[in-house]
């Protein structure tokens, strides 16, 4: 609140300025929707207004947004959502009986039989039961308790809530949270917002973005000098790096977390997105239980899932859940209280989640179409994952690990010294310069590696593999051409 | 992280305990879904399991959840939502053309024409435009800029986001936020979570829960001794108190906020809920602009609206928006960045909001049914507001202000000294004892006044007026009987 004298009149400055706002919020960064995406939106506007560009559309390969890239929703899911939205349709014989059955079950669990009523803050009970059964089935029968399931507004909401619970202390006692580098920037953003200490551990690009416990230990020990490490976050399959962790690796991580008394957060939103031969998704919970009661009865853990990824890609519904394990009952009561302040996750997102965890069964009328649609999406993603890796690795100056899973490739790019110098002059990350130029020249929107974190002196970008195959081929070709041009221009 | 020796084996305690969790979260309280509601849910379970009670159902009059109380959704809104969810229905001639037109417009604004795509973090552009036009129309032509509109996950989300931006400083420089007492506990919960200083100003029960600037000034001056007051929150129409502010009162508040350099937050989610003769909803923005450029060009303000209240009661969709005025452009950029971390509000909630601000027009086929349904809901609420006030005021020991607006009554109850003493013995708020007993004996779930704040030594409860008229009459009669019995029991 400053006072300024302008033309003899004293006028006060704004109450809320960059200087007087929450400093933690200022520190937040979120590259996936950062300056490059803002410029992309601007360019789209310019195109609509008739401004001439070397391209006719902007391809937003910056974000894992399947439907925006043309992927069609699963028919059954949307039929049920329509029935829930407008229950008069339950009388319509165009809808299959299994869709009606699901819709009736969801509506019966809603106050006044309406998805317009608030639900319990933890989520609708029968949906939490369905989630628990889904987890049990996924994990070969290891029990899951619906009381440990919290439905959420996308996985992001649950991750932020869990981190919020965990952060305390001041100075050297401040909670430290271990996150991978490269990371998904929700984590760094949430930690900045909460004023927690971010502890970076590096994935090994030379070993297919593998995670090594030696590196975890190095990062932890270094951090102990200035904060209190309490939390270890893992993303598997990896975002932005696309690796799928082996069973051994997961065991190592669990052992490490137990030894070091860390709360484990397992971000498993890409659990259906595994493409590479020999790779398989292992849930942290399953591995934990298979390691025996010494682990399964004590390690505190939360795992996260979402309706936004996998084969359904229903991002807009903001559905998700977390399962908490071995959480102190008093803390669980606090968690329930905390989520109650926001009343409830969107009920249509809860309904969508229910369909994801409780899809048509083999003896139901919609089963065949559901399986067909699901399989087609996952097969196309697998094909695109291979295509992307192969193509990038033909370009001199681009090297690319296999996209084992998830929806992204995170190739390493060699940038000429002159380009690096130019970026530094302009106070810009070199890979931001690269991505901005690519956007301006080719209309392709990627996210620079600097937005996810990377080893000093290396440069990357994240690109989704979501565009339809033919379009993806064009995108890859354009990036190839651009990269060669860029290299030449700055040589 | 404590170490315990049990049976000779050293075992560590939990990472996350009441003692080691975020202390701000521990301080959060949210009575609307607090212990009384948990008990209500438990009783419902007991009833289902066949436990004998003096009643057959629990009536949850604790929360403004219209559909749960049997209110039907607006047909047109749900038709459009069904069309958006399952666009194959656009070919179905059972749906009116105006519903299809709205659905097409929303889908055209979605990535890949799917509500399953992420939207822009600030919300879908054409919906923000519709919101701006709605505000302009509501406020008699005062301009509204879609760039100042932020769609949100219910109003709660926007309120918390705005408070988060505003909180900074340590010790005596910590941001103070003025909230009414009684208040809606989202505010106190958010302030506890953010570690901001809550500054209480009291509404005057004897003047129909009116707001007086003298009281605002008293509260502000007292607070200046220990914090930096920067924000003034107003709820109009009032929750839990049901008053509707006069134009003069709003002018006074605006003058006060300007003089004292406060950021004004106007919670106007009940803007269609005005029932008392002579009362009218005046938006803070309209009054601000009518006070002239001296005010309208400088006062920093955010106002909030939601799909959850008014005549639609679509709580489950978690739709809402805020309009910010005179916000520093650099701070606005920070706000946009902050909301981008959560990606976007639920798109179906955004669609619902679009219908609320852009309902059928007089020349469209759904207009007549829309108006009929809307009018019926608001007329019933008006009737119930009068009924409630009249009935409560016949009970000795209950006094009740007129329910001028919103959806609640907040009557004052006189409790016998013995009841107060008993509650104090049990470490319970006396009105919590009262409400718990009411729940156990009559199956009616209310929220004790202590959950909202009240003048020392006074006791209240909040009850929604949402039950259908005939059921509401029964509820009022039961509360009357209970109150008399309670008074006698403790005399």
Partner residue opposite A317 with nearest CB, options B28, B67, B348 = B348
**Regarding beta strands B197-202 and B175-181, do their DSSP bridges make them parallel or antiparallel, or are they unpaired?**
parallel
Q: From CA A57, how far away is CA A53, in angstroms rounded?
A: 9
CA-CA-CA-CA torsion for B49, B53, B56, B62, nearest 10 degrees? Answer: -100
Per-residue pLDDT at B1 exceeds 90: no
B85, A85: Cβ pair inside 8 Å? yes
Q: Which positions 204-233 of B are in contact with A (Cβ < 8 Å)?
A: 230-231
CA atoms within 13 A on the CB side of A282: 19
Copy the structure tokens of residue A258.
């137990």
CB atoms within 10 A of CB B449: 27
Q: Which of B346, B349, B466 to mutate to test the interface with A (most CBs of A within 10 A)?
A: B346
pLDDT of residue B220 exceeding 50? yes
Order of strands across the sheet with A408-409?
Answer: A408-409, A461-464, A447-448
Distance in Å from the first CA to the final CA of chain A: 50
A window 270-299, beta carbon within 8 A of B: 298
Which residues neighbour B424 within 8 Å (Cβ) at sequence distance 6 or greater? B430
Q: What is the pLDDT of residue B342?
A: 85
What pLDDT is stored for residue A3 in this prediction? 45
CB within 8 Å: B334 and A21: yes
Residue B81 forms contact with A (CB below 8 Å): yes
Residues 6 or more apart whose CB falls under 8 angstroms from that of B246 comprise B282
Start-to-end Cα distance in chain B: 50
Q: Give the chain A residue whose CA is nearest to the CA of B168.
A: A22
Find out whether the peptide bond into A238 is cis, omega within 30 degrees of 0. no
B-chain CB neighbours of A15 within 8 Å are: 230-231, 261-263, 300
Most B-contacting residue of A11, A22, A83 (CB-CB within 10 A), to test interface: A22
pLDDT value at residue B2: 43
Query: Once rounded to an integer, what is the mean pLDDT over residues A242-270?
Result: 96
Q: What span, in angstroms and rounded, lies between the C-alpha atoms of B372 and B376?
A: 6
C-beta neighbour count of B484 within 10 angstroms: 14
Cβ distance of A334 and B156 shorter than 8 Å: no
Determine whether the interchain pair A16/B79 forms a contact, defined as Cβ–Cβ distance below 8 Å: no
Assigned token pair, B221? 């001056």
B437 near B43, Cβ under 8 Å? no
Q: Bigger pLDDT: B29 or A275?
A: A275
C-alpha A306 chain-centroid distance: 9
- Whether pLDDT at B9 is above 50: no
Band (pLDDT 50/70/90 cuts) for residue A246 is very high
Q: Is B216 helix (H, G, I), strand (E, B) or coil?
A: helix
Instruction: List CB contacts of B173: < 8 A, sequence separation 6 or more.
Output: B227, B228
Cα distance between residue A73 and residue A95, in whole Å: 16
Interface membership of B309 toward A (CB under 8 Å): no
pLDDT at A445 over 60: yes
Cβ <8 Å between A317 and B189? no
Bridge partners (DSSP) of residue A303 are A266, A323
Task: Return the closest-CA partner of residue A358 out of A98, A122, A46.
Answer: A98
Contacts of B32 in chain A (CB under 8 A): 340
Helix, coil or strand: residue B100: helix
Written as six digits, the tokens of A309 are 């990824």
Share of chain B above pLDDT 70, in %: 97
Domain ranges of chain A: 23-70+370-489, 118-357
Beta strands in B372-435 (DSSP E): 398-399, 408-409, 412-413
Q: Which residues share a beta bridge with B395? A: none
| Class of residue A406 by CB neighbours under 10 A (exposed 0-12, middle 13-18, buried 19+) | buried
Q: Whole-angstrom Cα distance, residue B117 to residue A312? A: 11
- CA A89 – CA A82 distance, rounded (Å): 8
Judged against a pLDDT cut of 50, whether residue A40 lies above it is answered with yes
Q: What is the pLDDT of residues A404-417, one digit of tens each?
A: 999 999 999 999 99
Question: Are A111 and B67 within 8 A, CB to CB?
Answer: yes
pLDDT reading at A7 higher than 60:
no
Cβ contacts of A69 on chain B, cutoff 8 Å: 111-112
Query: A17 vs chain B: nearest CA distance in angstroms?
Result: 6
Residue A100: predicted pLDDT: 98
Question: A82 and B70 in contact by Cβ < 8 A?
Answer: no
Residue-level pLDDT at B30: 79
Give B337's contacts in chain A (Cβ within 8 Å): 28-30, 34
Exposure on the CB side of residue A405, measured as CA atoms within 13 A = 26
Give residue B27's pLDDT band: very low, low, confident or very high (50, 70, 90).
Answer: confident
How big is the CA angle at A182 (ends A263 and A42), to the nearest 5 degrees? 120
CA of residue B465 relative to chain centroid, distance: 15
Tell which CATH architecture fits domain B29-63+370-489: Alpha-Beta Complex (3.90)
Residue B354 pLDDT greater than 70, yes or no: yes
Q: Which of A219-223, A477-481, B15-19 has the lowest mean pLDDT?
A: B15-19
For residues B235-258, average pLDDT: 96
Separation in Å, CA of B206 to nearest CA in chain A: 30
- Work out the angle at residue A98's Cα, subtended by the Cα atoms of residues A92 and A99, and round it to the nearest 5 degrees: 55
pLDDT value of residue B35? 84
Q: Find the radius of gyration of the CA atoms of chain B.
A: 24
Stated as kind and residue range, the H or E segment containing A187 is helix A186-194
Residue with tokens 């809550």: B198
DSSP characters over A397-464: TEE-----BTTEE--EE---HHHHHHHHHTT--HHHHHHHHHHHHH-EE-EEGGGT---TT--BEEEE
| B394-440: pLDDT as tens digits | 999 999 999 999 999 999 999 999 999 999 999 999 999 999 999 99
Say whether pLDDT at B334 is over 70: yes
- B:140-159 residues touching chain A, CB 8 A cutoff: 153-154, 156-157
Burial B138-162, CB ≥16 within 10 A → b, else e: bbeebebebebbbbbbbbbbbbbbb
Does A67 sit within 8 Å of B348, measured CB to CB? no
CATH classification code of A23-70+370-489: 3.90.1150.10
CB-based contact B316 A340, cutoff 8 Å: no
A168 touches chain B (CB under 8 A): yes
Distance (Å, whole) CA A366 – CA A76 = 7
Q: How many residues does chain B have?
A: 491
| Any B CB within 8 A of A76 CB | no
Cβ-based contacts of B340 with chain A (< 8 Å): 30, 32-34
Which pair of tokens denotes residue B330?
A: 């650099």
In degrees, rounded to 5, the angle at the alpha carbon of residue A76 between the alpha carbons of residues A72 and A81 is 95
Q: Are B18 and A330 a contacting pair at CB < 8 A?
A: yes
**Residue B43 pLDDT > 80:** yes
In SS3 terms, B297-333 reads as CCCCEEEEEECCCCCCCCHHHCEEEEEEECCCHHHHH
Place of tokens 């973005």: A209
Residue B269 in contact with residue B233, Cβ under 8 Å? no
CATH 3.40.640.10 fits A118-357, yes or no: yes
Beta bridge partners of B197: B176
Q: Confidence class of residue A271 from pLDDT cuts 50, 70 and 90?
A: very high
Confidence check: pLDDT of A28 > 90:
no
Average the pLDDT over A123-134 and give the result. 97
The predicted structure's pLDDT at residue A341? 86
**DSSP codes joined into one string, A109-168:** TSGGG-TTS---TT--HHHHHHHHHHHHHHTTT----GGGEEEEEHHHHHHHHHHHHH--
> Would an 8 Å CB–CB cutoff place A177 in contact with chain B?
no
Neighbours of B269 (CB within 10 A): 27
Determine whether the interchain pair B86/A78 forms a contact, defined as Cβ–Cβ distance below 8 Å: yes
Asked if the model's pLDDT at residue A448 lies above 60, the reply is yes
pLDDT tens, A301-340? 999 999 999 999 999 999 999 999 999 999 999 999 999 8
- The band of A34, judged by pLDDT with boundaries at 50, 70 and 90, is confident
Is the previous residue joined to B237 through a cis bond, with omega within 30 degrees of 0?
yes
Q: Does the structure show a pLDDT above 80 at A93?
A: yes
Chain B nearest-CA residue for A297: B14
CA nearest to B76, candidates B51, B107, B101: B101
The CATH architecture that domain B102-357 belongs to is 3-Layer(aba) Sandwich (3.40)
Nearest to B17 among A18, A118, A331 (CB): A331
The A residues from 27 to 56 touching B (CB cutoff 8 Å) are 28-30, 32-34, 41
Asked whether residue A480 carries a pLDDT value surpassing 60, the answer given is yes
Query: Under 8 Å CB-to-CB from A456, ≥6 apart: which residues?
Result: none
**Rounded to an integer, what distance in angstroms lies between the CA atom of residue A235 and that of residue A228?**
22
Give the tens place of pLDDT for each residue, B266-293. Answer: 999 999 999 999 999 999 999 999 999 9
CB contact under 8 A, A117 and B315: yes
Chain A residues lying within 8 Å of B86, measured CB to CB: 78-79, 81-82
Question: Would you state the pLDDT for residue A12?
Answer: 64
Q: Is the pLDDT of residue B265 over 80?
A: yes
pLDDT band at B181 (very low <50, low <70, confident <90, very high): very high
pLDDT, tens digit, for every residue of A412-439? 999 999 999 999 999 999 999 999 999 9
Q: For B129-138, how does the pLDDT look when each residue is reduced to its tens digit (9 = 90+)?
A: 999 999 999 9
Task: Report in angstroms the alpha-carbon separations of A161 from A304, B26, B29.
Answer: 12, 13, 16
State what percent of residues in chain A have pLDDT above 70.
Answer: 97
Residue B67 with chain A: CB contacts under 8 Å: 110-112, 114, 116-117
Sorting pLDDT into bands at 50, 70 and 90, what band is B177?
very high
Q: At CA A432, angle to CA A428 and CA A434, rounded to 5?
A: 115
pLDDT for the residue A300: 97
Q: B140: left (phi > 0), else alpha (psi -120 to 50), else beta? A: left
B26: nearest CA in chain A? A334
C-beta separation of B339 from A28 below 8 A: no
Among residues A236, A225, A292, A243, the alpha carbon closest in space to that of A264 is found at A236
Judge: B328–A69 Cβ closer than 8 Å, yes or no: no
Residue-level pLDDT at B145? 98
Q: Is the pLDDT of residue A394 over 60?
A: yes
Chain A CB contacts of B23 below 8 Å: 168
Q: What is the distance in angstroms between the Cα of B88 and the nearest Cα belonging to chain A? A: 9
- For the four alpha carbons of A86, A92, A98 and A99, in that order, the dihedral sign comes to negative
Q: Considering CB atoms only, which of A68, A168, A312 is closest to B23? A: A168
Range in A15-19, A104-108, B128-132 the model is least confident about? A15-19
Query: A398 - beta bridge partners?
Result: A413
Q: Considering chain B, what is the average pLDDT of its residues?
A: 94
CB A266 within 8 A of CB A303: yes
Contact (CB, 8 A) for A298 and A258: yes
Across the interface, whether the CB atoms of A300 and B16 are under 8 A apart is answered: yes
Distance from CA of B163 to the nearest CA of A (A): 9
Test A315 with B116 for CB contact under 8 angstroms.
yes
Going by pLDDT thresholds of 50, 70 and 90, the confidence category of residue B12 is low
Q: Where are the beta strands (DSSP E) in B193-236?
A: 197-202, 228-235
Distance CA B323, CA B136 (A): 12
Model confidence band, residue A472 (pLDDT cutoffs 50, 70, 90): very high
């Amino acid at each position: 609140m400053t006072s300024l004298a302008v033309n003899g009149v004293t006028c006060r400055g704004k109450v809320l300025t960059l200087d007087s706002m929450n400093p933690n919020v200022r520190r937040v960064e979120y590259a996936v929707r950062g300056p490059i995406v803002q410029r992309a939106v601007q360019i789209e506007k310019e195109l609509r207004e008739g401004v001439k560009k070397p391209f006719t559309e902007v391809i937003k390969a910056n974000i894992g947004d399947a439907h925006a890239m043309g992927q069609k929703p699963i028919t059954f899911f949307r039929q049920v959502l329509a029935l829930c939205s407008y229950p008069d349709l339950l009388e319509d014989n165009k809808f299959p009986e299994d869709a009606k059955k699901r819709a009736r079950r969801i509506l019966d669990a809603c106050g006044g039989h309406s998805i317009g009523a608030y639900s319990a803050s933890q989520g609708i009970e029968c949906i939490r039961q369905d989630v628990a059964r889904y987890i049990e089935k996924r994990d070969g029968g290891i029990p899951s308790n619906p009381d440990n399931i919290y439905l959420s507004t996308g996985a992001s909401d649950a991750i932020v809530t869990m981190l919020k619970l965990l952060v305390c202390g001041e100075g050297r006692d401040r909670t430290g949270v271990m996150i991978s580098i490269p990371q998904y920037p929700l984590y760094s953003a949430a930690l900045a917002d909460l004023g927690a200490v971010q502890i970076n551990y590096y994935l090994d690009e030379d070993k297919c973005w593998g995670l090594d416990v030696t590196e975890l230990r190095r990062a932890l020990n270094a951090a102990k000098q200035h904060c209190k490490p309490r939390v270890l976050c893992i993303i598997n399959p990896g975002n932005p790096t696309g690796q799928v962790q082996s069973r051994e690796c997961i065991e190592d991580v669990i052992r490490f977390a137990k030894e070091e008394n860390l709360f484990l957060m397992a971000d498993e939103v890409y659990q259906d997105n595994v493409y590479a031969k020999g790779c398989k998704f292992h849930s942290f919970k399953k591995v934990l239980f298979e390691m025996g009661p010494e682990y399964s009865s004590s390690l505190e853990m939360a795992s996260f899932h979402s309706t936004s990824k996998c084969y359904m890609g229903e991002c807009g519904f903001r559905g998700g859940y977390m399962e908490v394990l071995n959480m102190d009952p008093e803390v669980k009561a606090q968690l329930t209280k905390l989520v109650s302040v926001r009343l409830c996750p969107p009920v249509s997102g809860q309904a969508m989640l229910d369909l994801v965890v409780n899809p048509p069964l083999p003896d139901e009328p919609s089963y065949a179409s559901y399986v067909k649609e699901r399989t087609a999406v996952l097969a196309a993603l697998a094909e695109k994952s291979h295509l992307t890796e192969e193509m990038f690795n033909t370009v001199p100056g681009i090297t690319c690990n296999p996209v084992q899973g998830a929806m992204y490739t995170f190739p390493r790019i060699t940038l000429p010294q002159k380009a690096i110098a130019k970026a530094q002059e302009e106070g810009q990350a070199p890979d931001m310069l690269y991505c901005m130029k690519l956007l301006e020249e080719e209309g392709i929107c990627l996210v620079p590696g600097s937005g996810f974190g990377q080893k000093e002196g290396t440069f990357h970008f994240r690109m989704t593999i979501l565009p339809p195959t033919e379009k993806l081929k064009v995108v890859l070709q354009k990036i190839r051409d651009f990269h060669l041009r860029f290299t030449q221009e700055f040589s």
